[in-house]
Structure 1
């Protein structure tokens, strides 16, 4: 099994789970025990400053909380890009990862270039993600540095598919309901 940590999962049109329709998931962990990640393209109406004034020190003004997935929707995770030599508490790449629950936010804020707050996460049990990949429910793509912090999250699904080219670029332009095409 090859780990997909640090890669993107782009929901294919055949994926039937409504929690993941047209989503892009950043894989934070992928082992034989399962996988977890966060949905990058589902901003919520709730602003970080409203939800947690303490966390607003890590995010930009008017930044929204993102729905990271259906698992533990009341749990909060902060994904951040760190300035070297600082490192994330839970690393996805050397400079990208999650702020630790025990981290001093004032200290961390000086080492964070960009951050995004997520409510909940996506999770898969042992073998579950691999089975969904075999069923072509997900398209695997490389992570670009701006993907986790895109200013246009609603178009991230189409953007990543278009970047892959070929037939994926056609899928990127497919309407939500193909019957109206």
Structure 2
């Protein structure tokens, strides 16, 4: 496991396109590559449109999230299962770190849901090949910061980028004052 697994990647103001002002939870990072989920890109589609059996159980705002530009024909369920022994995960889940895990979306929802504290569904994911993410971090495309318990299921995802940066005890908190248009900075 690399040090970025379980951490947040926060897009720098100059990171554009699919990752503009995004916050990515790194699910896995090793010498073969990395993958994660963009936490703050809700879609205008309810879970009911794709996986109706899970709609009653998703955490607000009850919509699908864009997890990233890779594998956009796949869905991933991110869950919070605090206090569970990683060696004995709840049925239908794979615990990753710190009470965060993935749920098997083919599992019967009523068997899995009683164990979950929070749950969101993501379409696609963010993925990097061997050495790619390390290179992007070295070039300054991402800030790597610690994750707090509520980040993965933040109430107002539109403010997550700002909220994560503003709590940093460094000059990173000043980045939130930059204009969304880099030409105005």
Alpha-carbon separation, structure 2, partners of 1:139 and 1:83: 26
Aligned residue among 136, 142, 157 for 2:146? 142
Aligned to 2:156: 152
Listed as ranges, the gaps of 5+ residues in structure 2 are: none
Alpha-carbon separation, structure 1, partners of 2:152 and 2:108: 23
| CA RMSD of superposed structures (Å) | 1.9
On the 8 A contact 2:60/2:155 being kept in 1, the answer is no
Using the size of structure 2 for normalisation, the TM-score is 0.89
Aligned to 2:8: 8
The structure-2 alpha-carbon separation of the partners of 1:43 and 1:61, relative to structure 1 and needing over 3 Å to count, comes to: closer
Answer yes or no: is 1:64 the counterpart of 2:63: yes
On the 8 A contact 1:158/1:172 being kept in 2, the answer is yes
- The alpha-carbon deviation at position 15 of structure 1 amounts to 2.5
Identify which range, 128-137 or 167-176, moves more after superposition.
167-176
- The alpha-carbon deviation at position 51 of structure 1 amounts to 2.5
Identify which range, 96-105 or 71-80, moves more after superposition.
96-105
Using the size of structure 1 for normalisation, the TM-score is 0.91
Aligned residue among 165, 173, 183 for 1:161? 165
Aligned residue among 73, 80, 87 for 2:89? 87
The structure-2 alpha-carbon separation of the partners of 1:152 and 1:62, relative to structure 1 and needing over 3 Å to count, comes to: closer
Secondary structure, counterpart of 1:54 in structure 2: helix
- The alpha-carbon deviation at position 58 of structure 1 amounts to 2.7
Query: Per-residue displacement from partner, 1:56-98 (whole Å, max 9, x unpaired)?
Result: 1431465010000000112100000115446263322142110
Alpha-carbon separation, structure 1, partners of 2:121 and 2:162: 22
On the 8 A contact 1:11/1:24 being kept in 2, the answer is yes
Secondary structure, counterpart of 1:92 in structure 2: strand
- The alpha-carbon deviation at position 167 of structure 1 amounts to 1.9
Aligned to 1:110: 114
